[in-house]
Structure 1
């Protein structure tokens, strides 16, 4: 049952959560025997299997103008409406071309029907589905109603139409149980929960020589204790708590390293973090380099460094997020056998914590007891080893590629039926 699958989004480039998860889905689908193709406004995929549509990028000038007119306002001018429909029509034609060029059997809109960063793109995809009835797995990461900046808007008609659409031929996939309930309540759409995943069947291969080489490149000493904040620099990541932790440890060997760039939501927060670190006497290191997607194995021209290089350099991972749709960085830390300080954000409490992970948790603020637990783990290799091995085993059961394979196989059978003799429980 080999199929041509088309991933569509505003961006498949860099290391944002949507791009990373799409790459993992593609890995699993290719292993199942399917072909994967890509359409987006920014791409770092194989050019022979992708279509770049710059107008579909959320930072396209015209799209940014549309967003500035419709969010924070309750009324939109007819010129904005005309611009939305004009852009929608152009992108629709490119999607049609994409489907024809690669003989696409099924599309996977990645967050493009979820959060209205690009309204014309979402509307174009919705109309294509309605007009062609092409089988669609709509992969939703974070909905517009979860973000305050979209609460006042002049496009409620567009949001009801396409974010997401309640039309035949669409299987909705969400990444947490709260989103599943809210989606059904608000739109009447049923969905399945497929959490973010990692290849726990194949643990990462790291070497001490590579670890020390990269630490040396970063200007770190052999005895430095590296706290890794493996996230983008945006306010909801709560990175100031990581600074507080390193300050409270009061050890000159402790360094805080942030792996990702700032920019998606401005640079003010990054500037404030630098100032806070200076005033706190914390050695803060920002990589300030574009990281590559380690699960994108279909592109040659990528930055040299990936998360696979950075995690082994760390001694401890900080993840004090205020809000997350799931928590990629948490899963990555477990995958790389790193102890984690985590803030008990809502989705973690509801979906992840009951699985029984052994973590150091904080409840919105850092206190002396939490700092003491961090010191205990750092000072006891035995305690650290028990912690990370326990966490890896739990994650292997709940968040491995095997979980995704089973769900994707079920969805494919729902659309296309099962071939004679096909194993429906564990695809090859």
Structure 2
């Protein structure tokens, strides 16, 4: 059986890249690869010190090479895209030169102001294929002379509804509480002040699921302490239960490479307030009807009198464009064209 390896800074956790990588691991296993995971952090098959975000000395080149030596195909999840650990990116690129590899790109440096001066990423090699998670990024790659395929993130669009009662009981939330869920890590670009303001305006309880990262701890503590609404800060895996428990999903991000929660909200039939980040506009172009953070009167009206047609339509669009079958078909087409099918 052909061996496939997925490589990233961290895998098996609750961040967006880990979640997408988990789906790809399942898809590639279904296609016929014997998959292993390789990262600097997380519950992985092969832990390589130096690959992690905070391990800035980088990995020993021989140790990393040994971790993927038996791989017929290597998928690099964002590690050669965003400059969170440039020494690691360089080692991975050098090791994979001339080998079949898919570089799966989520956040190229030019999309983040603090990384805009970094020009060495992404690397390129004639033996590789590049995949982006949206067309905006694909166009930006093309402007830089790198051709890519676009494969939107895939979701289990037929997963049954979660347990609202059990999740609310776990959170200590009463049945009549307006629960405003924010399925996001606590970092600046997730726009937590606006998410809190929405919950305040709607007189709901704000539920933030992610931990503080990127030095956001003190800012988050100040924001939550100053909130004029009840606050729940409790990390919970993104399962159908959280959407079943929520009355409203908020995702007012300033920037996202994709943004899974609005699609997940569509799958599990929840209204969603979505920020003005560019990829949100690309996804909305498929027909999704989301609410703006600037028009909360429309949200209030929906909550008072839910529009089932809106929820039906959003769910149908999610099933059409973001199913696991669609992602698998796109991935098979890529592998077939490259001659990499097992």
Query: Which residue number in structure 1 is paired with residue 239 of structure 2?
Result: 307
- Specify the structure having the higher radius of gyration (Cα): 1
Residue correspondence of structure 1 range 2-401 to structure 2 within 5 A:
2-45=1-44, 50-60=45-55, 63=56, 87=58, 90=60, 92-100=61-69, 103-130=70-97, 133-152=98-117, 159-160=119-120, 163-186=121-144, 188-200=145-157, 202-207=158-163, 211-249=164-202, 251=203, 254-277=204-227, 281-287=228-234, 289=235, 291-292=236-237, 306-349=238-281, 351-362=282-293, 366=294, 370-381=295-306, 383=307, 385-401=308-324
Contact 2:75–2:101 (CA under 8 A) maintained in structure 1: yes
How far did 1:58 drift? 1.2
How far did 1:225 drift? 1.1
- Find the residue that maps to 1:360 and give its secondary structure: coil
Contact 2:151–2:330 (CA under 8 A) maintained in structure 1: yes
Normalised to the residue count of structure 2, the TM-score between the two structures is 0.94
Q: Which moved more, 1:50-59 or 1:105-114?
A: 50-59
* RMSD after superposition: 1.9
How far did 1:150 drift? 1.9
- Find the residue that maps to 1:227 and give its secondary structure: strand
Query: 2:184, 2:150 → 1: CA distance?
Result: 23
How far did 1:417 drift? 6.1
How far did 1:7 drift? 0.4
Q: 1:307 to 1:262 in 2, by over 3 A?
A: farther
Specify every segment of 5 or more residues in structure 1 that has no aligned partner in the other structure, as ranges. 64-83, 293-305, 420-428
Query: 1:380, 1:361 → 2: CA distance?
Result: 18
Specify every segment of 5 or more residues in structure 2 that has no aligned partner in the other structure, as ranges. none
1:150-201 deviations in Å (ceiling 9; x for gaps): 235xxx5xx42xx211211110001122211221223x1100111222121x
Query: 2:86, 2:253 → 1: CA distance?
Result: 27
Q: 1:255 to 1:417 in 2, by over 3 A?
A: closer
1:203-236 deviations in Å (ceiling 9; x for gaps): 23423xxx22321221211111101011111111
Contact 1:197–1:331 (CA under 8 A) maintained in structure 2: no
Query: 1:355, 1:113 → 2: CA distance?
Result: 29
Query: Which residue number in structure 2 is paired with residue 297 of structure 1?
Result: none
How far did 1:17 drift? 0.8
Contact 2:332–2:341 (CA under 8 A) maintained in structure 1: no
Q: 1:169 to 1:228 in 2, by over 3 A?
A: same
How far did 1:272 drift? 3.0
Contact 1:359–1:387 (CA under 8 A) maintained in structure 2: no
- Find the residue that maps to 1:388 and give its secondary structure: helix
1:119-166 deviations in Å (ceiling 9; x for gaps): 111111111122xx22011000001111111235xxx5xx42xx2112
1:241-270 deviations in Å (ceiling 9; x for gaps): 222222222x4xx21101111123431331
How far did 1:414 drift? 2.5
Contact 1:259–1:310 (CA under 8 A) maintained in structure 2: no
Query: Which residue number in structure 2 is paired with residue 298 of structure 1?
Result: none
Contact 2:162–2:239 (CA under 8 A) maintained in structure 1: no
